[in-house]
Structure 1
């Protein structure tokens, strides 16, 4: 016996299942990307961010060109760190479940983040993708750290980092 080509109704069923599965996957992926954008609260205004940054003791910069940043995971702008809060002026790639950390070392890869995470301070949630102000937990001392990191907790994805002071 030789193998024969699928009959037209069977082939049509296979093509329909494949096309529907592909559509479902594309829709799911688009939903994961779009949902944080649609549900994000409005970020602080430029005036609010500028006023909050005045008391900053340290400054750093989020850049797009870090090792593990890519077209879907990046940040660009200025970070100001004070004993009370971290203030960001700029933009982040949208995504779910972003967390802000202070790190004792500058990192720009997922592997380095995971290695150093036990010694980091989780500051709080980042819920906006343009400008943010995140209060520091009571008793936190930013002088014990050197860098600010944005990390996607759900997908264990490095987003961006900024070194705000040299290690001493």
Structure 2
């Protein structure tokens, strides 16, 4: 074996390994970038919080309310909610926050649950009220054909990933 063929073999070996290492780094960067995009995009495009006067007006006129707390059994450090949700025949308003994420939906549920499995079991009996586009102090109109008194709880659910976020028992305000 000539010295030239040894050098050529060594260069081919090094070239292949450099290309493989660069391809792996590029692929890892794409995966990490995609993951960060899924997390940060909803934050970047989130609606601004509802005006404080809307929150106060809804709090004064709401017929029902629910409380969200961070330590629900199905919540975790990345999926949580806290605050008070006010419900009337025409609007649902949260004075508080939910963790940011994609494709959140607000459901009225027939009974209180605090896990993803619990909600999956009653999801077909629940009704979607709103697509959540902001993560702090939001207010949305409720479709007119929904009887808010027919439901005992409210659930925030990530539709895209089938992930429980938070829930609260609906109580009448007196």
Per the alignment, residue 145 of structure 1 pairs with 151
Separation in 2, partners of 1:164, 1:132: 18
**Residues 1:34 and 2:40 are matched in the alignment:** yes
Per the alignment, residue 132 of structure 2 pairs with 126
- 1:14-36: per-residue Cα shift (whole Å, max 9, x none)? 22122111111111011111111
**Residues 1:65 and 2:90 are matched in the alignment:** no
Structure-1-length-normalised TM-score: 0.89
Which of 2, 23, 26 matches 2:29? 23
Does the CA-based 8 Å contact 2:89-2:144 persist in structure 1? no
Segments of 5+ residues of structure 2 without an aligned counterpart are 1-11
Separation in 2, partners of 1:105, 1:153: 19
- The 3-state SS of whatever aligns with 2:102 is coil
Separation in 1, partners of 2:14, 2:71: 51
Per the alignment, residue 3 of structure 1 pairs with none
- The 3-state SS of whatever aligns with 2:146 is coil
Which of 160, 163, 166 matches 1:157? 163
Separation in 2, partners of 1:147, 1:85: 15
- Between the two proteins, the alignment pairs up a number of residues equal to 161
| Cα RMSD after superposing both structures | 1.6
The answer to which structure has the higher helix fraction is: 2
**Residues 1:85 and 2:125 are matched in the alignment:** no
Q: CA deviation at 1:58?
A: 1.6
Structure-2-length-normalised TM-score: 0.86
**Residues 1:108 and 2:109 are matched in the alignment:** no
Moved beyond 6 Å, runs of 4+: none
- The 3-state SS of whatever aligns with 2:137 is strand
**Residues 1:99 and 2:91 are matched in the alignment:** no
Separation in 2, partners of 1:72, 1:17: 31
Separation in 2, partners of 1:11, 1:63: 52
